[in-house]
Structure 1
Amino acid sequence: MAKKLYSAVFILFILVTVYSCGKSFLDAKPQGALAEPQLANTKGVESALIGAYGIMNGNISGTWGNYSSGPSQWLYGEVAADNAHKGSNSTDQSPMNDIELHKVNPSNDNLPTMWRVYYEGVIRCNTTLKLLSVVQSGGGEKFSEDRAKEIAAEARLLRGHYYFFLARVFKNIPYIDENMSVQEAAQVKNDKDVFPMIEADFKAAAEGLPGDYKKPLNEAGRVDKYAAEAYLGKLYLYQKRYPEALVEFKKVIQNKPALTDLAFEANFNVKTKNGQEGILVSQSIINPDGSGDNANVGDMLAGLYGNSPGGCCGFFQPSVDLVNAFKVGTDGLPYLDGSYRTNPYKSDQGLSGGAADAYKLDTTLRFDPRLDYTVGRRLVRYRDWGVVVPGWIRDQPFGGPFVAVKQSINQSDFSGNVATGTNYLNAQNINIIRLSDVYLMAAECAVETSALGDAKDWVNAVRLRAANLDPVLTGYGNPAAKYLIKTYNSFPNQDYARNAVRFERRLELALEGHRYYDLVRWGTAEEVLKSYMTFEKQYVSASQPAGFTYPDWDKGLPIPQEQIDRAQGILTQN
């Protein structure tokens, strides 16, 4: 089976992008030495499509600076929610502090990165579709009907994905397609709902991708029918079109292996990436010369600090609140009523001097076993790096006592999977949608359509799978907690079921970029974040020290000021 896309999907072809965004899609100019007619052939179209895939890792070129556009969406999806702190210290990447505290103004430098990168992806998809049309209507070599259909489907799914990422952050965005000239694109306002156009792209992708769910050209990095159906369902879910969403999710669930037959930890192991659970996956590789611009550049700041094997940079630290959410009762179920905050576990936070040195881990606490596959905590083994020590955290009073796990890789796998001299830049793939996410989205739809039994079954499948996790150990070789997880006997009513499903999403998908967007679409962001800030500020100084006022960002974060300025009245600020 051919694997060339997997090993080359993120090679960024400047020449295939006939009109490149540069700093703004509104400021597009022809790029490279080749004109469009020279690319209007089958090889040119395939190269253009590879270039469109190349934006999935949130990077146009280079390595540094692509943090807010990473496919994990750690900054907007987790730091802006109640799951994580920016981490590091207060002065490094200080504009990120404003995202954590919801004080973002239009000049925040994280906003234009997100905007530029994903509009570059849109442009590359549009270029692919335009070139495909020219080739298929011309007199030269053409694609087979099946391959032409696949190419169009791949490009449209990618375009829908890039627009969806933009719409979640900014909401009010201009929509441009392959039929617009550069001049026409520059005049498009951001006053239309783009979800109908995204829906059309996902539907076209589901129709055009192979009906047997095989990858186009049998290449592991390409999108397939699973991705199209799952993403279409997700779009419907965001619109509260629950019955329609459930239809799409059921297609995926029925055609994929049972979740309980798949290993949770395989999703976060560089040796087992592109496994059966992945639905839409951002590919990451280290280039043959050891450079890392095709690696997981969005998460590079999350490398652990100091003398850790990661060696940089101490960002993306899980919150005290998230860690305590993994507590379970004697029944093996989470504390859905919020009482997990009672007598909170905070590791060695707040200790200093001899008290900090003498800290001992309480291994009698009852935790969901997913905790230590998600969060690193002091005196608990972190992958194969050894136990977490204070020196791996840059500024613990500011960012807290915990570190993230899912985006890192085992030290034994560093060879060939980390960039030369930069162990924090690795080849870990990023799951944008994975199967347990689909189970929980299906469960959410089942709750809202009063199918509580189905919702319980899907949640329980996620929990049964987690029960198979091996215990994580301390440095002495004993389990780091009293790990316990059980299934629900019943969902007695809709409110209980809704709470259970939402809580399960937090636990299963923690630090994978979903949380803030979930809170917004549920309409609970203000309530949850005010409560979280009140709790968290007792322990971590990065949290709001005074009264917290949640802005009306359900309508979207600010449009980058640079885009407003260049648009000269075309774009309207949120």
Structure 2
Amino acid sequence: MKQIIYLLTLLITCVSCSKDFLNTAPKGVFHEGNYDMTTGQELLVLATLIEGYNSFAKQSWPIVAMQCHTTDNSHPGGPTGDGGVDFCQFPTLSFTPSNFTFNQYYGGNYEAITKANEALLMLDEFIKENGETKDANQMKAEAYFIRAAAYFRLTQAFGAVPYVDRVMGKEEEMADQLSATQIRNKYLPELIWAIDYLPTRIEQLASGNTGRATQNAARAIIAKTYMYEKDYVNCLNYTRQIIESGDNDLSTPYSEMFWEVNEFGPESIWEINAEFKPEQNISIIGDTNGWIMMNGVRGFPNLGWGHNAPTEDLMNAYEAGDPRYDATVLKNGDMVDGEVVKADFYEYFNKKAYLPKAERSLYGRDDWCSGYWSNFRIIRYADIVLMHAEAACEMGDLKDAKEKLEMIRNRARNGDDSVLPKVMTENQDELREKIRHERRIELALEFERYFDLVRWGIAQDKLPNFVPGKHELFPLPQSEIDRMVN
């Protein structure tokens, strides 16, 4: 898909991009004067879907603030006040609805929903004229995926939000606000339907058409949704389907998961495309580079701003000899790629955002490029395996839970059997804590920690400024509150 996205970038510039996400004029009318009524129409739908996918890549700034800096894993790095007033409110949970970060996250997800709805409207017109085709059904499945993924993220962060499943007319000022459970019950049947019309990851790789939704990406959103609803039976059903599909595995070394050579590899459930090859005049970066830039070394080599760095609490949480520590923590004075890291401020960095020097020098790139070419990895396979372990534990199947936990720890050992001993407990409470610890370490400095603490009901025990009854959800943006009042 990297090739397809590049070819479609010109087309995308012709597709309008609504900024008023809940008040959108009808779109999607075609005639022979603007696009061919077969291939051209399909290309326009595909371009709209790509805009939907790219909407998720634009959210790196609010994700760092909302899902990283709020946790006991993440230190903001940099000098005091770096990132601005709004950004600096998240480590202390002192944010208010007027914090612009919420507008960015809320708006970015509704932009994805808008693009999905536009694509579905266009597909309805196409199917009326041409009948159902394999490509049309796949694109419909992708639109359902994009919309479901955005609503999962919105309900995860805000709870009840406006539900929009169509292109709204100018006269429609506000969509109905539904509870998180109501919204999830809307998108789950669509996403379950979509699975059969999506390709596997391996099929995508074989076609060279990577970067779009796959069967396991759809299953992952379904499983996560059931996990948040505490429906462990259905969660297990879909995590098991992913594990047994053979489409993903844990063969990628932990320290290499985020390298360019492993994009769309067996660890990948869902990631967003990016590319940067100056020598070939290829630049498909959107805002995907924001994650690498925000997390990169601040100092020498000059690779970023140093946000989302490991806290002392996180570093102390690693078991002795756990190889994931050195794959996650980069510190001042470390020698990497023949260079000695020198920090300007805070002395630690997120090593998962460090891209090898050889990769940085390809295709005419340079360090200043800040990882423009690096795909934004949103869901990876280890997350799914640990979700399965957690759900199995909650259902009382400790044998299954320990087997899945061992899969993660075995990969993490990297062949050193003297570290990370197999978990043997037969006590459910002890096993639950072991699985929670494993999620913290395995997914450290990624995107899961805050919402994990909240759904486990222990955020107030881990985060000093967390207020029960207040911080389980983020506040809706003030602009949306004002719209509801008016």
> What is residue 339 of structure 2 aligned with on the other side?
386
Task: Give the aligned residue type for 1:556.
Answer: L
User: Which stretch of structure 1 is more off in the superposition, 112-121 or 170-179?
Assistant: 170-179
2:69 is aligned with 1:79: yes
Say whether residues 1:146 and 2:92 are aligned partners: no
Cα shift at 1:484: 5.4
The answer to whether residue 289 in structure 2 is matched with residue 297 in structure 1 is: yes
1:230 and 1:438 in contact (8 A); partners too: yes
Contact 2:201 2:214 in 1 (8 A): no
Residue 96 in structure 1 maps to residue 87 in structure 2:
yes
Aligned residues: 476
Structure 2 counterpart of 1:560: 477
Of 403, 413, 433, the residue aligned with 1:499 is: 433
1:487 to 421, 427, 437: 421
Q: 1:154 to 1:306 in 2, by over 3 A?
A: same
Q: CA deviation at 1:369?
A: 0.6
| Aligned residues of 1:442 and 1:455 also touching (Cα < 8 A) | yes
Corresponding residue for 1:550?
A: 467
Quote the Cα distance in structure 2 between the aligned partners of 1:485 and 1:425: 33
1:521-540 superposed matches below 5 A: 521-530=455-464
**1:414-463 CA-partner distances (Å, limit 9, x unpaired):** 13578677332422222221111111000001001101011111111111
Q: Is the 8 A contact 2:327 2:352 kept in 1?
A: yes
3-state SS in 1 of match to 2:177: coil
AA aligned to 1:289 is: N
Contact 2:11 2:44 in 1 (8 A): no
Q: Which secondary structure state, in structure 2, belongs to the residue aligned with residue 558 of structure 1?
A: coil
State the structure with more CA Rg.
Answer: 1
Distance change in 2, residues 1:126/1:9 (3 Å)? same
Separation in 2 of the partners of 1:118 and 1:96? Answer: 19
Partner Cα separation in structure 2 for residue 527 and residue 278 of structure 1 = 32
* Distance in 2 of aligned mates of 1:252 and 1:459: 16
2:232 is aligned with 1:233? no
Does the 8 A contact of 2:328 with 2:352 survive in 1?
yes
Deviation of the 1:413 alpha carbon: 0.9
Asked if the contact 1:59/1:297 (under 8 Å) is kept, the reply is no
| Counterpart for residue 220 of structure 1 | 210
The AA in structure 2 aligned to 1:559 is L
Q: Are 2:87 and 2:101, in contact at CA under 8 Å, matched by a contact in 1?
A: yes
Q: Which SS does the other structure have where 2:76 is aligned? A: strand
Matched residues in 2 for 1:290 and 1:149: separation? 30
In the other structure, the counterpart of 1:52 is: 49
Aligned to 1:457: 403
Code of the aligned partner of 1:48? V
Quick check: 1:213–1:226 contact (8 Å CA) kept in 2? Answer: no
Residue 16 of structure 1 is matched in structure 2 by: 15
Tell whether the 8 Å contact from 1:245 to 1:445 is kept in structure 2 after alignment: yes
Secondary structure of the residue that 1:280 maps to in structure 2? strand
Q: TM-score, normalised by structure 1?
A: 0.76
What amino acid does structure 1 have at the position aligned with 2:233? P
Cα distance change, pair 489–305 in 1 and its aligned pair in 2 (3 A): closer
Output the amino acid matched with 1:125: A
Which one of 162, 174, 196 corresponds to residue 150 of structure 2?
162
Q: 374, 377, 385: which one pairs with 2:328?
A: 374
| 1:409 counterpart SS class | coil
Classify 1:290/1:151 alpha carbon distance in 2 versus 1 (closer, same or farther; 3 Å).
closer
Alignment partner, residue 209 of structure 1: 198
Q: Which runs of 5+ in 1 are unaligned?
A: 329-365, 471-482, 531-547
Q: Please state how far the C-alpha of 1:281 moved relative to its aligned partner.
A: 1.2
Q: What are the within-5 Å matches in structure 2 for residues 59-138 of structure 1?
A: 67-69=60-62, 73-94=63-84, 95-138=86-129
Residue aligned with 2:270, SS: strand
**Structure with the largest fraction of helix:** 2
1:463-508 deviations in Å (ceiling 9; x for gaps): 11111179xxxxxxxxxxxx95233241221101110111001111
TM-score (norm 2): 0.89
Measured in 1, the distance between the counterparts of 2:99 and 2:156 equals: 17
Alpha carbons 2:232, 2:394 under 8 Å: kept: yes
Q: How big is the shift at 1:208?
A: 2.5
Please say if 1:411 is aligned against 2:357: yes
On the 8 A contact 2:202/2:247 being kept in 1, the answer is no
Any stretches of 5+ residues in structure 2 without a counterpart?
A: none
* Match 1:192 to one of 174, 179, 182: 179
Partner of 1:25: 21
Q: Is 2:162–2:178's contact at 8 Å kept on the other side of the alignment?
A: yes
Residue 447 (structure 2) pairs with residue 513 (structure 1): yes
Would the aligned equivalents of 2:57 and 2:376 in 1 still touch at CA under 8 Å?
no
What aligned pairs does 1:227-306 form with structure 2 within 5 A after superposition?
A: 227-256=217-246, 259-286=249-276, 288-289=280-281, 291=283, 293-294=285-286, 296-299=288-291, 300-306=293-299
Following superposition, the deviation at residue 108 of structure 1 comes to 0.9
Q: 1:132 to 1:276 in 2, by over 3 A?
A: same
Distance 2:2 2:476 in 1: 39
Structure 1 residue 172: Cα displacement? 1.9
Cα distance in structure 1, aligned partners of 2:122 and 2:149: 20
Distance in 1 between residues matched to 2:295 and 2:363, nearest whole Å: 16
Equivalents in 2 of 1:415, 1:143: separation in Å? 48
Kept after mapping to 2: 8 A contact 1:12/1:51 = no
Shift of 1:14: 3.9
- The separation in 1 between residues aligned to 2:463 and 2:2, in whole angstroms, is 44
The alpha-carbon distance between structure 1 residues 549 and 421, as it changes in their structure 2 partners (threshold 3 A), is closer
Note the C-alpha offset of 1:214: 2.9
Change (3 A) 1:374 1:254: same
Pick closer, same or farther for the CA change 1:163–1:153 going to 2, 3 Å. Answer: same
CA distance in 2, matches of 1:212, 1:408: 26
